[in-house]
């Protein structure tokens, strides 16, 4: 696996983690409030959107070299 492919896998994993945390803070609001992390859920949601945009930009930018059969 090349560094470019690892980068894409890492971005996808980061997006899944951020979306999972955002979802948890919205589903279990009382528990998140008790732990003092409810405000971080909003940040995680925006960060996930930013990572989706960055991932799309990265794949578009590197598409000529990522999907080349070697």
* Residues of the chain predicted below pLDDT 70: 67-70
E-state strands within the chain: none
Tokens of 52: 């989706």
pTM for the predicted model, two decimal places: 0.83
Number of domains in the chain: 1
Range of the domain at 36: 3-66
**Structure confidence at residue 11 (pLDDT):** 96
- What whole-number distance in Å separates Cα of residue 56 and Cα of residue 60? 6
**Structure confidence at residue 19 (pLDDT):** 96
């Amino acid at each position: 696996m090349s560094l470019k492919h690892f980068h894409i896998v890492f971005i996808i994993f980061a997006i899944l983690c951020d979306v999972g945390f955002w979802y948890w803070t919205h589903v279990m609001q009382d528990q998140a409030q008790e732990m003092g992390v409810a405000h971080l859920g909003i940040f995680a949601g925006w960060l996930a959107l930013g990572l989706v945009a960055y991932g799309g930009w990265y794949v578009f930018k590197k598409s000529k070299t990522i999907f080349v059969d070697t």
